[in-house]
Amino acid sequence: MKVLLKNGETTEVSFKEQEGKKAFWHTSAHILAQAVKNLYPDTKCAIGPAIGNGFYYDFEFTFPFSEEYLPAIEAEMKKIVKKSFSLQVYEMDREKALSYMEERGESYKLELIRELPEEEKISFYKQGDYAEFCAGPHITNTCQVKALKLLSVAGAYWRGDEKGKMLTRIYGISFPKEALLEEYLHMMEEARRRDHRKLGKELGLFAFQEEGAGFPFFLPKGMVLKNLLLNYWRDLHVKEGYQEISTPIMLDKSLWQTSGHWDYYRENMYTTVVDDTEYAIKPMSCPGGMLVYKLAPRSYRELPLRLAELGLVHRNEKSGQLHGLMRVRAFTQDDAHIFMTQDQIIEEIKKVAKLIDKVYTKFGFPYHVELSTRPENSIGSDEDWELATKALGIAMDSLEIPYSINEGDGAFYGPKLDFHLKDSIGRTWQCGTIQLDFQLPQRFEAEYIGADGAKHRPIMIHRVILGSIERFIGILIEHYAGKFPVWLSPVQVKILPVSDKYMPYADKISEALKASGIRVEMDARNEKLGYKIREAQLDKVPYMLILGEKEQADGTVSVRARDGARDKQDMGEMRPEELANLILSLEKEQR
């Protein structure tokens, strides 16, 4: 696939590469804008970038726009594609570019151009009679877009400013092959079926309330799920030599100034005043972990010191960005901070990477790794950054874990390894991270006494494995489509008495299973058995126990399994202790 660069040169890029997708979807956004202008000439164009999956374009329409207009725009886009417009790139000086946009009434484009340096030449990409100022790159011909689909309409503030103009955002997707579009649409339909917000409500796991936008409420079954996950996390970390701590939910503003978060993260932080002193509600746990480290004199013999925390953090997310458990304003982060000597860096990175691999493998997540390098807005010396970046690469190389470079996307205090897991329908999620930090120990003047009796500065790893626990639960809900493995199921067994007549026997079975450590729920409603079975299937409970006259007489339960082929879901009669042993052995195997 040929891509046209800003300088007029072309280069060959595969659609499978990220840069290829970006150019392809960016061009598709221009096709969308051209189609809209063809149909509705008075519409004003704002911005239209490529995004992670597809593209969008923001418009200001002169009429109330809704999804019913999408088919007409999509049809117009297909006409543009069929005309096989070759893309051309050319430059204008600033004044001509401003005049060009002013003639067309494109006020949003004028605003963007005016912000560019006065001496800068403005590049335009043109397809047919439609031209738009843009830095590119783009594919060389519209005919390369073999399949496209407009997906949805949403509101979006101009430049993300809630005080700005509300625009109409149109989302779309496109591909160089029809089969890829069909595959994508199938995945989208599957994603809708698995939507954690829908399943979370149906399964009684969590809820959101108007009184706390972005702040999740975990319901009883959701708390069982969350605690099972946290117990697993705790057991794992004890075995790996971590010590668990807990730090306050808010700390003096001066602490965040020392750490650098006040300068680099202030807009995402909530603040309050206590005794005339400004406090920040923590958006992450590292400064508190640093204070714990400094509570006592440290020796090299204590290092590496691994401090883990399930820290409740708050971040000031914009209302338009909130999305179920995936994007919230309060969440629990499975933080850990490792303090070590310089000689221990690579080995500790490797241990964390192995731990992440162990956890992701357990849940059935393949993953890929990105090494993110120094951003423009950062602290520390070039030497520290070079040493830290090199150490992360050496650790991955020694483990033979491939990684790609993500230029300029490191934390403000150090480079990082980001672990992107892939779920059962092919979507990727960035969860785990390993951040190597030379800066915070310096800012907080952290020390240890070395073997030579002198004071030395420790090096610090910030790391998470699950990331946000809430978000990870959302991912798990969608990954398993609500059908959690037995060890993670909030309810493992649902008892379905055939009628009220068998309730005493059902209570006896329930108590016996609970005593064995099985999580049990009873459906005591006066409903027909078929209805109860269908409800239990919707609840996605691993095992259903049907209790009637025969089972009561034999002292058994009839077991029906959630999973497996239809002809094997009926597992027949069992003694309660047999079923308990089966579930407990499955738990042990899965954990």
Our answer to whether residue 443 is catalytic in this structure is: no
Q: Which of 335, 384, 418, 523 is catalytic?
A: 335
Task: Specify whether 318 is catalytic.
Answer: no
The C-alpha atoms of residue 2 and residue 5 are separated, in whole angstroms, by: 10
- Catalytic residue, candidates 462, 471, 519, 540: 462
315 is catalytic: yes
User: Which of 418, 432, 427, 426 lies closest to 472, judged by CA?
Assistant: 432
Write down the catalytic residue from 45, 134, 286, 431: 286
Identify whether 286 is a catalytic site residue: yes
Sign of CA dihedral 566, 570, 571, 577: positive
Question: Dihedral (C-alpha) 107, 108, 109, 114: value to the nearest 10 degrees?
Answer: 80
Which of 368, 474, 453, 451 is CA-nearest to residue 417?
368
Which of the following is catalytic: 237, 298, 416, 456?
416
Q: Is 237 a catalytic residue?
A: no
Burial label, 222 (beta-carbon count in 10 A; 0-12, 13-18, 19+): buried
Contact yes or no for 203/483 (Cβ under 8 A): no
Residue with tokens 């034999």: 554
Q: Which of 44, 226, 298, 315 is catalytic?
A: 315
Question: Buried b vs exposed e over 572-584: b needs ≥16 C-beta within 10 Å?
Answer: eebebeebbeebb
Quote the CA–CA distance of 329 and 319 in Å, as a whole number.
9
User: Which member of 37, 237, 337, 560 is catalytic?
Assistant: 337
* Residue 337 a catalytic site member: yes
Per-residue 3-state assignment (H helix, E strand, C coil) for 34-69: HHHHHHCCCCEECCCCEECCEEEEEEECCCCCCHHH
Q: What is the CA radius of gyration of the chain?
A: 29
Q: Catalytic residue, from 127, 144, 333, 552: name it.
A: 333
Q: Strands 448-449 and 130-133, how do they pair?
A: unpaired
Residues with catalytic function: 286, 315, 333, 335, 337, 416, 462
